Amino acid sequence: MVVIGTVYHLTCHRQIQASITETKANIEKMEKNLSEEKMTNSVKETQIELKASINGNSDWTGMMHLGKNGQTAHDNDGFIDVEGGLERTENVDPASNAPTYSASDIKGSKKKVIKMGFVDTLLMGFSALHNGAKVLNTEEAAGNLSVLNGIRVISMWWIILGHTFDIIPPYLDDPRYATTELFSSFWFSAVMYFSVSVDTFFFLSGLLLVYNTLKHLKKSNGRMNWALFYLHRFIRITPAYMICIAVFSTLIVHFNEGPGQIELFESSARICRERWWTNLLYINNLYPFPGSLGEQCVGWSWYLANDMQFFVISPVIIYLLYRYSKLGIGLIVALCLGSFGITAYLATYYGVSLGVSPPYNNNTVVVYGNAAADVIYMKPYCRIPPYLVGMVFGYIFYRLNGQPFKMNKWVNVIMWIAAVGAGLAIIYGPFRSDGEPLPQYAAVMYTTLSRAGFAVAVGWVTFSCVVGYGGPVNSFLSWSFWTPLSRINFCAYLLHTNLIYTFYSSAKSQYHFTYLMMASTVISNTVLSYAAAFILAIGVEGPVMGLEKALLGRRVGGKKKLER
């Protein structure tokens, strides 16, 4: 279909568009002609009525008789000249020789435009050239929060950096030296705690969802097709996601030559064959409960499950924010506090500490071996605070509605210092030069509050940039360079770990750790991830969105737009 769509784009698209444009012009001409004809008839009827009132009822009756029988009626004074009566039956106007049109002609032409538009939209959705041009276009629609593009892409780069280091230890010839060298480095904390970048994704999802949905509700006077709301989300994410799972569980093993390829990918394929349906239903982070991060089909997909689960409950919050804003904010605060309580309880009960893969350290039964990952890290009731923080900022931006916002210079400076300081504290605060873990109470507080705190810090950066107080940071994050990359960021997230595993497992000998080797690996993983993401975007994501637009877009807005 991609080939067919591309060929159609190169050969037929312009002709179809020209035909649509010509038909639309004819529709306007027909509507204008019909309107003028109705106006002319109305004027003639008025003239007859006036003449009848002047000449008396007998003249009026005669004229009406003549008009009804299609005969010629003349006024001796030259005041009225009616040919053929009041009801036109010819196809050509005798005065202007212009063809006349009926409402059925116009309706037929509109149906023709709709059909041609449907076919054009459908086939263009499969065009690799069309989809590629949309991805590479650096222009932003009016009202978009362009600063979010830079934040989104940089967060993805951070995730690739973290996974590049996180996955490599089993493939090193000196893993003990590498881990000792790295974990004793203060600066390596930025890599070690890269997972807060996922909280940035949650923050952005909540912000954009509330901001865009509230704008739609305002424009539509509170009306919303919630069935399409859910359907669009499912269609937007699922096809590319399922393709990723299919590749990871079937094809990717054939791209490797290393000695560990069978053990690594066959075990993953087995899990996917057994539990693929949990990914399709976006419950893979909950089933089987309590679950294991290492026993999931496509382990990094826990994020997608959480994001979808947050999305499912979002209409309640959005509706309250739209109708009863105080209740909406109150519900958000209550959910945050509830999440904090659950996380603190679990962190205390399982004795969660900070570090790489911290074990259970109390007398509870060790089932999966990693409390931080299995019981807390991938669970929606522990990860929702950043999403809720994003929803609050989305509501704030909706209320601002692009209006000027004045802020004291020193307030802005103080808030920037606080935001940057909080972000750095969350990343570098847990570091201990002696390698000892933090005290239990500190670990519990960090596990409970750090993710929401990081989201608030990112929220301030976003807010300051949007209202015009971001300075060079805003210019950098709003740079048009980020726009194409942000459009394929989701596909990059789906594919990057596949590529990292493939790269590492293909080696026939172990790697020797050096900083230069790791730097080149990070760069190559980033470039290859976005290159593969571009292919997935134009080959799967773009066609699916084009198909949705052709099938659902016409039903939602296409026909009404033509008839206006």
Q: Which string of b and e fits 131-170 if b means at least 16 CB within 10 Å? A: bbebbeeeeeeeeebbbbbbbbbbbbbbbbbbbbbbbbbe
Q: What is the secondary structure of 405-424 as a DSSP string?
A: ----HHHHHHHHHHHHHHHH
What is the pLDDT tens value at each position of the chain, 564 positions in all?
A: 766 767 666 677 666 777 767 666 766 666 666 666 666 666 556 656 666 665 555 454 444 444 444 444 444 444 434 444 434 444 555 545 555 556 676 666 667 666 666 776 777 777 787 888 889 988 877 666 899 999 999 999 999 999 999 989 888 888 888 777 887 788 888 998 999 999 999 999 999 999 999 999 999 998 999 999 999 999 999 999 999 998 888 877 677 666 666 666 777 778 888 888 999 999 999 987 776 777 788 888 999 999 999 999 999 999 999 999 999 999 999 999 999 999 999 988 888 877 544 444 443 443 344 666 778 889 999 999 999 999 999 999 999 987 888 999 999 999 999 999 999 999 998 887 666 777 888 889 999 999 999 999 999 999 999 999 999 999 999 999 999 999 999 999 999 998 998 888 887 788 888 899 999 999 999 999 999 999 999 999 888 888 888 787 644 443 444 333
Any domain includes 120? no
pLDDT of residue 246: 87
Matching residue, tokens 């990057």: 496
Any domain includes 122? no
Is 244:494 a contact under the CB 8 Å cutoff? yes
Any domain includes 116? no
Q: In the listed set 77, 101, 125, which residue is the last one of a domain according to the structure?
A: 101
pLDDT of residue 47: 59
Q: CA 423, CA 415: separation in Å to the nearest integer? A: 12
- Domain range for residue 78? 2-101
SS3 232: helix
Q: Of 358, 344, 350, 306, nearest to 446 (Cα)? A: 344
Q: Are residues 378 and 458 in the same domain?
A: yes
Q: CA 394, CA 214: separation in Å to the nearest integer? A: 9
Q: In the listed set 58, 79, 101, which residue is the last one of a domain according to the structure?
A: 101
Q: Are residues 385 and 425 in the same domain?
A: yes
Any domain includes 121? no
Q: Are residues 86 and 139 in the same domain?
A: no
Any domain includes 362? yes
Any domain includes 114? no
pLDDT of residue 327: 97
Q: Are residues 242 and 306 in the same domain?
A: yes
Q: Are residues 94 and 140 in the same domain?
A: no
| Structural domains in the chain (count) | 2
Any domain includes 119? no
Residue 112 tokens read as 């023709």
Q: Are residues 25 and 148 in the same domain?
A: no
Any domain includes 315? yes
Q: Are residues 276 and 405 in the same domain?
A: yes
HSE value, Cβ hemisphere, 13 Å, CA-based, for 343? 29
Q: CA 472, CA 517: separation in Å to the nearest integer? A: 32
HEC letters along 324-363: CHHHHHHHHHHHHHHHHHHHHHHHHHCCCCCCCCCCCCCC
Q: Which residues partner with 81 through β-bridges?
A: 74
Q: Are residues 311 and 456 in the same domain?
A: yes
Q: CA 102, CA 433: separation in Å to the nearest integer? A: 85
Q: CA 392, CA 91: separation in Å to the nearest integer? A: 63
Q: Are residues 93 and 145 in the same domain?
A: no
Q: Are residues 88 and 159 in the same domain?
A: no
Q: Are residues 157 and 254 in the same domain?
A: yes
Q: Are residues 403 and 539 in the same domain?
A: yes
For residue 342, report the phi and psi dihedrals to the nearest 5 degrees: -65, -45
What is the separation of C-alpha 357 from the centre of its chain, rounded to a whole number of angstroms?
32
pLDDT of residue 359: 43
